[in-house]
Protein backbone atom coordinates (compact mmCIF):
# COMPACT_ATOMS: atom_id res chain seq x y z
CA UNK A 1 0.00 0.00 0.00
CA UNK A 2 1.43 3.37 -0.95
CA UNK A 3 1.83 6.03 1.75
CA UNK A 4 -1.63 7.15 2.84
CA UNK A 5 -3.00 10.65 2.25
CA UNK A 6 -3.05 11.12 6.05
CA UNK A 7 0.65 10.19 6.27
CA UNK A 8 1.47 12.59 3.43
CA UNK A 9 -0.56 15.38 5.08
CA UNK A 10 1.12 14.81 8.47
CA UNK A 11 4.57 14.82 6.86
CA UNK A 12 3.95 18.02 4.91
CA UNK A 13 2.55 19.80 7.97
CA UNK A 14 5.65 18.82 9.99
CA UNK A 15 7.79 20.17 7.14
CA UNK A 16 5.79 23.42 7.03
CA UNK A 17 6.33 23.77 10.78
CA UNK A 18 9.98 24.38 9.84
CA UNK A 19 9.33 26.24 6.58
CA UNK A 20 5.99 28.06 6.93
CA UNK A 21 6.86 30.48 4.13
CA UNK A 22 6.74 27.60 1.62
CA UNK A 23 3.03 26.76 2.06
CA UNK A 24 2.01 28.62 -1.10
CA UNK A 25 4.62 26.69 -3.14
CA UNK A 26 2.96 23.43 -2.17
CA UNK A 27 -0.51 24.27 -3.48
CA UNK A 28 -0.36 21.46 -6.09
CA UNK A 29 0.11 18.99 -3.23
CA UNK A 30 -2.82 20.37 -1.27
CA UNK A 31 -4.97 20.15 -4.41
CA UNK A 32 -3.90 16.52 -4.90
CA UNK A 33 -4.67 15.76 -1.26
CA UNK A 34 -8.14 17.27 -1.67
CA UNK A 35 -8.82 15.29 -4.84
CA UNK A 36 -10.47 11.92 -5.29
CA UNK A 37 -7.35 10.14 -6.61
CA UNK A 38 -4.56 8.90 -4.35
CA UNK A 39 -1.83 11.59 -4.28
CA UNK A 40 1.02 9.03 -4.23
CA UNK A 41 -0.12 7.14 -7.35
CA UNK A 42 1.91 7.90 -10.47
CA UNK A 43 -1.25 8.23 -12.58
CA UNK A 44 -2.76 10.97 -10.40
CA UNK A 45 -2.78 14.16 -12.46
CA UNK A 46 -2.10 17.05 -12.55
CA UNK A 47 0.27 16.35 -9.60
CA UNK A 48 1.48 13.41 -7.52
CA UNK A 49 4.01 12.66 -4.80
CA UNK A 50 7.52 11.32 -5.44
CA UNK A 51 10.38 10.72 -3.00
CA UNK A 52 14.14 11.28 -3.18
CA UNK A 53 17.16 10.45 -1.01
CA UNK A 54 19.72 13.19 -0.45
CA UNK A 55 22.81 11.22 0.63
CA UNK A 56 25.86 12.86 2.21
CA UNK A 57 29.19 11.14 2.74
CA UNK A 58 31.84 11.82 5.41
CA UNK A 59 33.44 14.49 3.19
CA UNK A 60 30.13 16.42 3.11
CA UNK A 61 29.58 15.53 -0.53
CA UNK A 62 26.15 14.78 -1.97
CA UNK A 63 25.38 11.81 -4.24
CA UNK A 64 23.96 12.66 -7.67
CA UNK A 65 22.90 10.17 -10.32
CA UNK A 66 22.34 10.83 -14.01
CA UNK A 67 18.78 9.85 -14.90
CA UNK A 68 18.40 8.40 -18.39
CA UNK A 69 14.95 9.94 -18.86
CA UNK A 70 16.14 13.53 -18.38
CA UNK A 71 19.92 13.40 -18.68
CA UNK A 72 20.04 15.48 -15.48
CA UNK A 73 22.17 14.81 -12.43
CA UNK A 74 19.71 14.52 -9.54
CA UNK A 75 19.31 12.77 -6.22
CA UNK A 76 18.19 9.13 -6.39
CA UNK A 77 14.42 9.02 -6.29
CA UNK A 78 11.16 8.38 -8.05
CA UNK A 79 7.58 7.27 -7.78
CA UNK A 80 6.00 5.51 -4.83
CA UNK A 81 5.33 1.78 -5.19
CA UNK A 82 2.44 -0.22 -3.72
CA UNK A 83 4.77 -1.80 -1.13
CA UNK A 84 5.99 1.54 0.26
CA UNK A 85 4.61 1.92 3.78
CA UNK A 86 5.74 5.53 4.19
CA UNK A 87 7.57 8.31 2.36
CA UNK A 88 10.97 7.75 4.03
CA UNK A 89 10.95 4.09 3.03
CA UNK A 90 9.99 5.01 -0.53
CA UNK A 91 13.08 7.24 -0.70
CA UNK A 92 15.24 4.44 0.74
CA UNK A 93 13.83 1.91 -1.73
CA UNK A 94 14.60 4.26 -4.63
CA UNK A 95 18.13 4.76 -3.29
CA UNK A 96 18.72 1.00 -3.16
CA UNK A 97 17.14 0.38 -6.59
CA UNK A 98 19.01 3.11 -8.44
CA UNK A 99 22.40 2.98 -6.69
CA UNK A 100 22.66 -0.36 -4.91
CA UNK A 101 23.18 1.43 -1.57
CA UNK A 102 21.07 -0.47 0.97
CA UNK A 103 19.02 1.24 3.64
CA UNK A 104 21.31 -0.09 6.36
CA UNK A 105 24.25 1.86 4.86
CA UNK A 106 22.61 5.22 5.65
CA UNK A 107 20.91 6.94 8.59
CA UNK A 108 18.62 9.95 8.55
CA UNK A 109 20.25 13.12 9.78
CA UNK A 110 19.22 13.87 13.34
CA UNK A 111 15.92 15.72 13.34
CA UNK A 112 15.06 14.51 9.83
CA UNK A 113 13.96 10.97 10.64
CA UNK A 114 10.40 11.61 9.42
CA UNK A 115 10.55 15.18 8.09
CA UNK A 116 12.01 15.89 4.66
CA UNK A 117 14.86 18.33 4.20
CA UNK A 118 13.01 19.82 1.24
CA UNK A 119 9.79 19.45 -0.73
CA UNK A 120 10.03 20.56 -4.34
CA UNK A 121 7.31 20.95 -6.97
CA UNK A 122 8.59 20.64 -10.52
CA UNK A 123 7.09 20.24 -13.98
CA UNK A 124 7.25 16.99 -15.92
CA UNK A 125 6.76 17.00 -19.69
CA UNK A 126 4.00 14.97 -21.31
CA UNK A 127 4.97 11.41 -22.22
CA UNK A 128 2.60 10.14 -24.91
CA UNK A 129 4.33 6.72 -24.92
CA UNK A 130 3.19 6.24 -21.31
CA UNK A 131 -0.12 8.04 -21.80
CA UNK A 132 0.92 10.75 -19.37
CA UNK A 133 -0.01 14.40 -19.78
CA UNK A 134 2.28 17.19 -18.62
CA UNK A 135 2.07 17.19 -14.84
CA UNK A 136 3.93 18.03 -11.64
CA UNK A 137 5.94 15.98 -9.20
CA UNK A 138 5.80 16.98 -5.55
CA UNK A 139 9.13 15.54 -4.46
CA UNK A 140 9.69 14.80 -0.75
CA UNK A 141 13.48 14.94 -0.33
CA UNK A 142 14.78 13.10 2.71
CA UNK A 143 18.38 13.57 3.88
CA UNK A 144 20.65 10.71 4.93
CA UNK A 145 24.23 10.27 6.06
CA UNK A 146 26.23 7.43 4.52
CA UNK A 147 27.47 5.34 7.46
CA UNK A 148 29.28 2.56 5.64
CA UNK A 149 31.41 2.68 2.53
CA UNK A 150 29.40 1.06 -0.18
CA UNK A 151 30.06 0.60 -3.87
CA UNK A 152 27.54 2.37 -6.07
CA UNK A 153 25.96 -0.14 -8.44
CA UNK A 154 23.74 1.67 -10.92
CA UNK A 155 20.41 0.43 -12.23
CA UNK A 156 21.33 0.96 -15.89
CA UNK A 157 17.72 0.87 -17.13
CA UNK A 158 17.15 4.22 -15.39
CA UNK A 159 20.57 5.60 -14.48
CA UNK A 160 23.73 6.15 -16.54
CA UNK A 161 26.24 7.60 -14.08
CA UNK A 162 26.87 9.04 -10.65
CA UNK A 163 29.07 11.59 -8.93
CA UNK A 164 29.66 13.00 -5.48
CA UNK A 165 29.34 16.79 -5.45
CA UNK A 166 30.20 19.33 -2.80
CA UNK A 167 27.26 20.97 -1.09
CA UNK A 168 28.01 24.15 -3.08
CA UNK A 169 27.63 22.14 -6.33
CA UNK A 170 24.42 20.34 -5.36
CA UNK A 171 22.04 20.42 -8.33
CA UNK A 172 18.96 21.68 -6.49
CA UNK A 173 19.26 25.28 -5.28
CA UNK A 174 16.81 24.69 -2.41
CA UNK A 175 18.61 21.54 -1.24
CA UNK A 176 21.95 23.32 -1.57
CA UNK A 177 20.75 26.21 0.61
CA UNK A 178 19.23 23.93 3.27
CA UNK A 179 22.33 21.70 3.41
CA UNK A 180 24.54 24.78 3.72
CA UNK A 181 22.46 25.95 6.70
CA UNK A 182 22.85 22.52 8.34
CA UNK A 183 26.61 22.59 7.78
CA UNK A 184 26.85 26.13 9.16
CA UNK A 185 24.87 25.22 12.29
CA UNK A 186 27.00 22.08 12.82
CA UNK A 187 30.14 24.23 12.79
CA UNK A 188 28.68 26.73 15.28
CATH number of the domain where residue 147 is located = 3.90.79.10
How much is the pLDDT for 157? 86
As a whole number, mean pLDDT of residues 83-104 equals 95
Total domains present in the chain: 1
User: 47-56 and 135-146: which strand pairing?
Assistant: parallel
pLDDT surpasses 60 at 188: no
pLDDT surpasses 70 at 87: yes
How big is the CA angle at 63 (ends 57 and 68), to the nearest 5 degrees?
Answer: 165
Helix (H) / strand (E) element for 161: namely strand 159-166
Mean pLDDT, the chain, whole residue set: 93
Q: pTM here?
A: 0.95
Range of the domain at 139: 5-187
Amino acid sequence: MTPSPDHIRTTVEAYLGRHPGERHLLQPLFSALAGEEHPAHRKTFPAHVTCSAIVRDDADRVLHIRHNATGKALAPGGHNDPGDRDLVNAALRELAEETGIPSDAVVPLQGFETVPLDIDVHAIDANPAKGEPAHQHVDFRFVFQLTAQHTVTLQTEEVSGYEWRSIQETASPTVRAKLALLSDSARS
